[in-house]
Amino acid sequence: MRQKPLHGLRVLDLTRLLPGPLATQHLADYGAEVIKVEDTGAGDYARTMGAMNGDTSFFYQIVNRGKQSLRLDLKQDAGRDLFLRLVETADVVVEGFRPGVMDKLGIGYDVLRARNARIVLCSISGYGQTGPYAQRAGHDINYIGYAGVLDQIGAAGGAPAIPNLQIGDLLGGSMSALLGLLVAVIDAKATGNGRHVDVAMTDAALAHAIFPLAEVLAHGRVRPRGEDLLTGGVPCYGVYETADGRHMAVGALEEKFWTLMCDTLERPDLKPAHLATGADGAQARAEVAAIFRRRTQAEWVAIFDRVDCCVTPVLRLEESLDDAQIAARGMVLDVDGVRQFAPPVRLSEFELGDVAPAPAAGADSDAILSGLGLDAAEIARLRAAGVI
């Protein structure tokens, strides 16, 4: 079996909570060595957020597997100097502080590249390193609000709905950060020169609002939520309630799928309403809704599992984890007794293999510092001084 594709890539991870830790966990899954650098106080406060599994939260455990943990007080000269020694051996530094904090700590990009010309610094923030909002606090709901994305989520006539998939954090802070830092790493390998990668979660959410932008270009403004092609504005694409209060997802955008669905429902008269809008569309949606309310979700699943027309159940996550397709793809794994998601991108000649659970704070401090040449006495002295 070949080595994992990111074998040999060394990443120093200064991030906390969700966006950065998930990004660096993906790197670790694909073979990078990820050193999670935590302060000597609270460290990553995701450890105590939400439901707990012993003395550590499930949240922390499912976005930090496969990493090492080093505690460093970067506000002390000795801590900063140790970090810069690590930078000399690293390829990537990932941070999620407010803009300017890295410079205040004495480890800004100019300082890092003076120690290692090929270093890639990936900075993840809500609004980016520049602009009038750069120093503002925020969370996912704020970023997708500014990006015009939150406005588009929800039922017609209702308020915007808050998704439990953090679009700005994950699309922006995790996946866009991975894209940017890997682009910069490839360039650094070729040229010997790193880059500062500036990832704004608001930017990333905005840059993927494709269908709303198409509406603005065509009509000067977006359609109200729930009235666009993909938000429930046409009968062939929407969510319909079943007799037991569950739902079915109808995605019959192509006419052939809609035709097949209408035949399956024994309502060929609905075929002309495929993309109907306005009063005609509302009438067709009401009739389809009435049909789906006649049977339970399980009954509809039994019917449409045999019909290839993009009609599927809306599952709860606990059901998704046991779904046959998810199981066949190996998307759920067990790490130290905790069910987690497997890497989402499959590669030929790649297996995740055994992975270490999320580390305790400072669990690898001695080993990492020994690798820098520090002896046991020096490490003990640094620990006594509160540096590690």
Retrieve residue 150's tokens.
Answer: 């939150």
Among 256, 263, 359, which Cα is nearest to 44's? Answer: 359
Degrees (nearest 5) of the Cα angle 131, 134, 138? 135
Q: Is the dihedral of CA 230, 231, 233, 234 positive or negative?
A: positive
Q: Is 323 exposed, middle or buried (0-12, 13-18, 19+ CB in 10 A)?
A: middle
Taking each helix axis from N to C end, the angle separating 19-29 and 177-191, rounded to the nearest 10 degrees, works out to 50
Beta-bridge mates of residue 197: 122
How far is the C-alpha of 380 from the C-alpha of 168, rounded, in Å? 42
Active site residues: 139, 169
Q: Is the dihedral of CA 83, 87, 90, 96 positive or negative?
A: positive
Degrees (nearest 5) of the Cα angle 206, 212, 218? 125
Residue written as token pair 């989520």: 153
Retrieve residue 197's tokens.
Answer: 């990668």
Retrieve residue 261's tokens.
Answer: 């669905």
DSSP 88: T
How far is the C-alpha of 276 from the C-alpha of 95, rounded, in Å? 48
Retrieve residue 205's tokens.
Answer: 């959410």
Judge whether 34 and 27 are in contact, CB under 8 Å.
Answer: yes
How far is the C-alpha of 127 from the C-alpha of 105, rounded, in Å? 21
Degrees (nearest 5) of the Cα angle 123, 11, 73? 75
